[in-house]
């Protein structure tokens, strides 16, 4: 069985929450690769979303957790990466459904939208919920067709 490794990245708005999530992952013996940023100094979210998503694309990492101020910027950047299904979530129901039905492989969180406690609950749920497949796979395939046609 392949070792589970999570890609994690943030911009300045998500830096502090990223650090909290890293500590949580470490305490739970979940390996991760930190793609930055490494401070709260102003920076551009696409610069950090792209290498984290590339690690998911090439199989280095199983999935990505991306954090910015709202989660929206990271999700916009991540969803431009071929094969990435990023979901910006602010509640546990959405996290559960995006894994079960959308097979999301990137969770985008807004550090200015949710607190650390909820964020950690959402991370745990994202990492522990599997894809239901079946009728949902057809929809994922249809989304992939749209992605392929957009090239």
Catalytic sites, residue numbers? 68, 101
Q: What is the DSSP string of 45-105?
A: HHHHHHHHHHHHHTTSSSEEEEEESSSHHHHHHHTTSTT--EEE-SSHHHHHHHHHTT--S
Instruction: Give the C-alpha separation, 126 to 137, whole Å.
Output: 18
Two tokens, residue 94: 């959405």
Token code pair at residue 114: 């949710």
């Amino acid at each position: 069985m392949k070792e589970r490794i999570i890609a994690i990245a943030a911009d300045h708005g998500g830096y502090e929450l990223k650090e909290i999530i890293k500590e949580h992952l470490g305490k739970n013996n979940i390996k991760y690769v930190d793609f930055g940023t490494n401070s709260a100094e102003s920076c551009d979210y696409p610069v950090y979303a792209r290498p984290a998503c590339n690690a998911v694309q090439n199989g280095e990492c199983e999935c990505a957790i991306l954090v910015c101020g709202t989660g929206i910027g990271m999700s916009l950047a991540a969803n431009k990466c071929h094969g990435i299904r990023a979901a910006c979530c602010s509640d546990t129901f959405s996290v559960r459904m995006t894994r079960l039905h959308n097979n999301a492989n990137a969770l985008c969180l807004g550090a200015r939208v949710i607190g650390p406690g909820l964020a950690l609950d959402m991370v745990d749920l994202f990492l522990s919920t599997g894809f239901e497949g079946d009728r949902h796979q057809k929809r994922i395939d249809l989304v992939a067709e749209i992605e392929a046609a957009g090239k």
